């Protein structure tokens, strides 16, 4: 059998995701209408013989348990549990601490998944690839633009054998534009042997050198994978399918688009939209009513209210309780629960937090990704009001602000 571990981190993580991580932990932020990690559960639930998913992190139980409850209902074939680290133990420390729970039932293989990646989830392909070698583990690797590579773990792959010959976490100098994608498949017993070796090396280092920091963090990347690469026991499965890491809040926009695009082909029932007949019931003459203009793909929560004259999409996710008024236009954006978008307002390339109010004729916008440029988006924290006709362009706005003047390229505290 196979198990999966989702590394979800804790409250000190996700700082670059502010202000969106102020109200909800990053792994539970909704893209494509569902929490980020819900999408990885969809993929894992399709793996043959995989029945258990363990979330490991250091968030309070109270923060994670409601998600576990919902997910257990949505994925009845999976047993989903949360294992809490008493403090941040690092990407391998939590695995080590909970090794008995993870190894219970003798799973032969373990998927280890980061909680902030969105991709095509080639899990079956990875399993096939993994069974074709005798290494400890398979890392999914992906090519990124050269200038971006040093923000990731960089890997040099032997083109003949697919062995990861050299692995350096966030190197200072350019090593490779093929990087660790945050998804691994390990042989269970060999993984824990390697982690134990790494632990021993670390303990030995700190007993040799009294100056060394004796924290309890054990890092999967530096402490386990780098040495593994040097012994030839780490392999890399290179994927060419799209991949996004959700680090900055801005990356939620391409992640949202990727998820909506994948459900368009793999799971259309998730791309809900109100049917024109339901919308028309509020009108006297409903035989002629067509409903709002929707450019697919979009996720529109079934209890959102969208005026018939609005135009929405592509790549828009709209949460529960949202109201979109007469003549409004929304494109390439995420609108979170209970936000109200008034008549003729326009929201483009933006993330609008919960309970915001966008006034009539207001505009909230970022800019499309253009050749080599950073994506610019507008982000409104929870409970922000943008007053009538105000134009907010490429700004980050902290929660509960009332914006009565237009602004451009600013952080509004
Ligand atoms: N349980 C637990 N405990 N999880 C943790 C901890 C911890 O102490 N620290 C980080 N995580 C989780 C995060 O929530 C995330 O899912 C994952 O581990 C990796 O997070 P980071 O340690 O912040 O690394 P990163 O995202 O900057 O880079 C990692 O991911 C890239 C791919 O997305 C590295 O593995 C890179 O090499 C890789 O390219
Ligand atoms: P479509 O023609 O609607 O497919 O969009 P586009 O991609 O050609 O145009 P763009 O991305 O520039 O703008 C998106 C849409 O929002 C356009 O249709 C604009 O007419 C509309 N729009 C722009 N400003 C406003 C505004 O202030 N209010 C409203 N309601 N709509 C606006």
- Cβ of residue 57 lying under 6 Å from some atom of ligand 1: yes
Q: Is the peptide bond before 314 cis (omega within 30 degrees of 0)?
A: yes
pTM for the full predicted model: 0.89
Token pair, residue 235, equals 């392999």
- Cβ of residue 343 lying under 6 Å from some atom of ligand 2: no
Query: Which ligand is closest in space to the CA of residue 331?
Result: 2
Cα torsion 247, 249, 250, 252: sign: positive
Report CA(66)–ligand 2 centroid distance (Å): 38
Report CA(75)–ligand 2 centroid distance (Å): 39
The pLDDT value given to residue 17: 82
Q: How far is CA 272 from CA 122, 264, 329, 358, in A?
A: 25, 10, 19, 24
Please count the residues of the chain: 413
For 285, the 3-state DSSP assignment is coil
Nearest CA, atom 19, ligand 2: 329
Atom of ligand 1 nearest to the CA of 56: 1
Angle at 20 between CA 16 and CA 22, to 5 degrees: 90
Report CA(11)–ligand 2 centroid distance (Å): 38
- Cβ of residue 328 lying under 6 Å from some atom of ligand 2: yes
Token pair, residue 332, equals 């390439």
- Cβ of residue 393 lying under 6 Å from some atom of ligand 2: no
Cα torsion 12, 16, 19, 21: sign: negative
Report residue 147: phi and psi, to 5°: -70, -20
CA-based nearest residue to 247, from 90, 42, 13, 409: 13
Buried b (16+ CB within 10 A) or exposed e, 59-75: beeebbeebeeebeeeb
Looking up tokens 């017993």 gives: 189
- Tens of pLDDT along the chain (413 residues) come to 999 999 999 997 767 888 887 778 999 999 999 999 999 999 999 999 999 999 999 999 999 999 999 999 999 999 999 999 999 999 999 999 999 999 999 999 999 999 999 999 999 999 999 999 999 999 999 999 999 999 999 999 999 999 999 999 999 999 999 999 999 999 999 999 999 999 999 988 888 877 666 577 999 999 999 999 999 999 999 999 999 999 988 899 999 999 999 988 877 777 765 544 444 444 444 445 568 999 989 999 989 999 999 999 999 999 999 999 999 999 999 999 999 999 999 999 999 999 999 999 999 999 887 765 666 899 999 999 999 999 999 999 999 999 999 999 999 98
The pLDDT value given to residue 286: 41
The pLDDT value given to residue 214: 59
The pLDDT value given to residue 278: 43
Pocket test for ligand 2, best of 312, 329, 388 (most atoms within 8 A of CB): 329
DSSP string, 321-356: T-EE-TT-EEES-EE-TT-EE-TT-EEESEEE-TT-
Q: How many Å apart are CA 396 and CA 384, to the nearest integer?
A: 11
Pocket test for ligand 1, best of 4, 5, 6, 7 (most atoms within 8 A of CB): 7
- Cβ of residue 363 lying under 6 Å from some atom of ligand 2: yes
The pLDDT value given to residue 194: 98
The set of residues, in sequence order, having a beta carbon less than 8 Å from that of 152 and lying 6+ positions away, is 144, 170, 179, 180, 245
CA-based nearest residue to 103, from 195, 217, 197, 233: 195
Nearest CA, atom 9, ligand 2: 331
CA-based nearest residue to 2, from 114, 106, 113: 106
Report CA(341)–ligand 2 centroid distance (Å): 15
Query: Which ligand is closest in space to the CA of residue 88?
Result: 1
The pLDDT value given to residue 287: 44
- Cβ of residue 183 lying under 6 Å from some atom of ligand 1: no
- Cβ of residue 56 lying under 6 Å from some atom of ligand 1: yes
CB 44 within 8 A of CB 50: yes
The pLDDT value given to residue 138: 98
Report CA(91)–ligand 1 centroid distance (Å): 6
Q: How many Å apart are CA 136 and CA 150, to the nearest integer?
A: 25
Helix, strand, coil shares of the chain, percent, nearest 5, are: 30, 30, 40
Query: Which ligand is closest in space to the CA of residue 345?
Result: 2
Report CA(392)–ligand 1 centroid distance (Å): 33
Nearest CA, atom 14, ligand 1: 9
Token pair, residue 349, equals 């390339």
Token pair, residue 132, equals 């074709």
């Amino acid at each position: 059998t196979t198990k999966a571990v989702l590394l979800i981190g804790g409250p000190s993580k996700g700082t670059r995701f502010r202000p969106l991580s102020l109200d909800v932990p990053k792994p539970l932020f909704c893209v494509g209408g569902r929490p980020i990690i819900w999408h990885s559960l969809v993929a894992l639930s399709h793996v043959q013989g995989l029945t258990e998913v363990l979330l490991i992190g250091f968030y309070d139980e109270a923060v994670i348990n409601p998600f576990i409850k919902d997910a257990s209902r949505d994925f009845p074939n999976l047993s989903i549990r949360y294992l809490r680290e008493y403090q941040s133990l690092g990407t391998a420390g939590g695995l080590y601490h909970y090794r008995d729970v993870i190894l219970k039932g003798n799973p032969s293989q373990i998927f280890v998944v980061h909680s902030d990646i969105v991709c095509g989830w080639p899990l079956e392909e990875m399993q096939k690839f993994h069974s074709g070698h005798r290494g400890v583990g398979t890392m999914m690797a992906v090519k990124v633009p050269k200038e971006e590579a040093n923000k990731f773990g960089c890997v040099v792959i032997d083109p003949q054998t697919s062995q990861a010959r050299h692995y350096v976490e966030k190197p200072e100098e350019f090593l490779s534009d093929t990087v660790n994608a945050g998804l691994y498949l390990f042989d269970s017993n060999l993984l824990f042997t390697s982690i134990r070796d790494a632990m021993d090396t670390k303990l030995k280092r700190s007993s040799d050198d009294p100056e060394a920091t004796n924290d309890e963090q054990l890092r999967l990347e530096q402490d386990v994978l780098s040495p593994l690469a040097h012994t030839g026991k780490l392999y890399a499965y290179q994927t060419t399918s799209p991949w996004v890491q959700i680090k900055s809040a801005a990356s939620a926009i391409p992640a949202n688009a990727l998820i909506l695009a994948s459900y368009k082909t793999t799971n259309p029932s998730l791309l809900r939209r109100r049917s024109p007949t339901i919308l028309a019931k509020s009108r006297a003459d409903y035989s002629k009513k067509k409903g709002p203009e929707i450019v697919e793909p979009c996720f529109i929560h079934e209890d959102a209210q969208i005026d018939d004259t609005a135009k929405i999409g592509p790549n828009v996710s709209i949460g529960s309780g949202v109201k979109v008024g007469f003549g409004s236009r929304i494109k390439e954006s995420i609108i979170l629960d209970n936000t109200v978008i008034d008549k003729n307002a326009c929201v483009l390339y933006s993330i609008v937090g919960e309970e915001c109010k966008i006034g009539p004729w207001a505009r909230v916008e970022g800019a499309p990704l253009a050749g080599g440029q950073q994506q610019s988006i507008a982000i409104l924290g929870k409970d922000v009001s943008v007053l009538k006709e105000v134009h907010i362009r490429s700004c980050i706005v902290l929660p509960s602000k009332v914006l009565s003047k237009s602004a451009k390229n600013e952080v509004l505290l």
